[in-house]
């Protein structure tokens, strides 16, 4: 499924503008629009396009492609976008393994890549690149936020759990980096596991007073429902991925009261955020998720750079991106030397408002947090 969202008839608009400075920018968005992970990609796309449509900049064209959450498809799409569509900028990948397959090759071909989500440690440290910007976070950040806040929330003896794959291991090490309590048990589950009765029995027997989980997507829904029904009742904390807007409605009451580390929340008190949440709800009839927020910020960052430098001058264009001169829905936002964000990290609590389950900020976990791989980045 490929469709082109050409915003205005470029020719007519150019004639009207009549400005010589106009330098058209073509963006290739590769994201997940089918399969089990589609809700994340759809929110990324919708958030991005909301900002693009609001700006109505005739010089910006977006080509959207579906990667089906498969690395080999993402690589093919990147080749097609670069070689036949001749895009200047790539964006949109949700998953770290797909990003690792696409980003290094794209930046090596002189393209600029703006990450709306995935930001693996390999691309932050040794593998950093002047053409690669992560607008979302560095992968460890939201786990660090949960870890930094857990002791404050009264969790002194934590049971921590994640799937047995690279992001799961990064998650637990991210949590432990700033956690001040004691980890009583560290459990790795199977990726895609749907039954957690065994782990819940271990939690009950572990003597922990709180549980940290990183179980994205359907795994988290399964765990939270089963955990609530088990009556164990210890406080639960995780990164925002496990308790995001796109999956909260499927968890229902079971998720209420759960804490999660995030760098954005629908109730974050900034003017840009109020506009974003309101217009997203008006356009799509639902509350935005963190993925939509990252998509929206990415489009606005791109638009801010387009106003400052022509994309044909890669160095000037990247310098313009690095200034991050846009109104982020997260409020404070700047880039560290490695092109990863420096931002505040929060802890949110799942609440029910009317019929809708959503998140509210309950505290700030870390201020002006960058990432732990900064020193390894030489550029």
Contact assessment for residue 198 and residue 222, using Cβ atoms and an 8 Å cutoff: no
Taken as a whole, the chain contains a residue count of 379
Asked if 207 interacts with another protein (CB under 8 A), we say: no
Closest CA to 290 of 264, 328, 255: 264
Residue 97 or 188: the one with the smaller Cβ distance to another protein is 188
309 touches 334 (CB < 8 A): no
Q: Min. distance of Cβ 201 from another protein in angstroms?
A: 5
* Secondary structure letter of residue 254 according to DSSP: G
Shortest distance, CB of residue 226 to another protein, whole angstroms?
6
Edge-first strand order for the sheet with 60-66 is 2-5, 60-66, 25-31, 89-91, 112-115, 132-134
Among 123, 247, 292, 365, binds another protein (CB under 8 A): 247
Task: Tell me the two tokens of residue 80.
Answer: 């097609």
Q: Does 246 bind another protein (CB under 8 A)?
A: yes
Among 27, 251, 259, 293, indicate the residue that binds another protein (CB under 8 A): 251
Radius of gyration of the CA atoms of the chain, in A: 21
Q: Is 230 in the site for another protein (CB under 8 A)?
A: yes
Within 76-135, which residues bind another protein (CB under 8 A)?
none
Is 164 near another protein (CB under 8 A)?
Answer: yes
According to the binding rule CB under 8 A, does residue 222 interact with another protein?
A: yes
Q: According to the binding rule CB under 8 A, does residue 186 interact with another protein? A: yes
Sketch the per residue contact string, 26 through 65, with another protein: x for CB under 8 A, - otherwise: --------xxx-xx--x-----------------------
Please say which residue, 83 or 190, places its beta carbon nearer to another protein: 190
Give the angle subtended at the CA of 281 by the CAs of 275 and 286, to the nearest 5°: 145
CA distances from 110 to 94, 97, 132, 136, 176 (A): 21, 21, 10, 22, 37
Partners of residue 186 on adjacent β-strands: 160
List contacts with another protein (CB under 8 A).
34-36, 38-39, 42, 164, 169, 185-190, 192, 194-195, 197-199, 201-202, 204-205, 217-219, 221-222, 225-226, 229-231, 246-247, 249-254
């Amino acid at each position: 499924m490929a469709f082109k969202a050409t915003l205005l008839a470029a020719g007519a608009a150019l004639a009207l503008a009549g400005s010589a400075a106009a330098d058209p920018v073509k963006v290739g968005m590769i994201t997940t629009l089918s399969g089990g992970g589609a809700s994340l990609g759809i929110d990324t796309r919708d958030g991005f396009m909301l900002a693009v449509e609001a700006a109505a900049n005739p010089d910006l064209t977006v080509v959207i492609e579906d990667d089906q959450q498969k690395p080999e498809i993402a690589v093919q799409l990147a080749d097609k976008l670069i070689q036949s569509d001749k895009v200047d900028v790539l964006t949109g990948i949700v998953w770290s393994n797909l990003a690792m397959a696409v980003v290094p090759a794209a930046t090596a071909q002189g393209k600029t890549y703006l990450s709306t989500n995935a930001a693996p440690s390999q691309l932050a440290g040794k593998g950093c690149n002047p053409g690669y910007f992560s607008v979302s976070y560095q992968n460890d950040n939201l786990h660090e936020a949960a870890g930094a806040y857990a002791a404050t929330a009264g969790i002194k003896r934590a049971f921590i759990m994640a799937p047995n794959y690279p992001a799961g291991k990064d998650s637990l090490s991210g949590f432990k980096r700033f956690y001040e309590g004691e980890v009583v048990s560290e459990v790795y589950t199977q990726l895609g596991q749907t039954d957690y009765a065994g782990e819940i029995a271990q939690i009950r027997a572990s003597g922990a007073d709180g549980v940290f989980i990183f179980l994205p997507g359907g795994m988290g829904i399964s765990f939270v429902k089963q955990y609530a029904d088990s009556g164990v009742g210890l406080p639960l904390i995780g990164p925002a991925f496990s308790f995001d807007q796109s999956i909260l409605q499927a968890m229902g009451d079971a998720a209420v009261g759960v804490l999660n580390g995030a760098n954005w929340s629908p109730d974050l008190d900034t003017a840009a955020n109020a506009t974003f949440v309101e217009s997203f709800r008006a356009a799509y009839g639902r509350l935005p998720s963190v993925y939509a927020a990252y998509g929206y910020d990415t489009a606005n960052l791109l638009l801010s750079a387009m106003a400052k430098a022509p994309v044909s001058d890669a160095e000037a264009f990247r310098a313009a991106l690095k200034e991050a001169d846009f109104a982020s829905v997260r409020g404070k936002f700047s880039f560290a030397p490695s092109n990863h964000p420096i931002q505040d990290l929060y802890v949110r609590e799942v609440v029910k408002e009317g019929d809708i389950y959503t998140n509210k900020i309950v505290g700030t976990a870390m201020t002006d947090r960058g990432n732990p791989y900064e020193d390894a980045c030489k550029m």
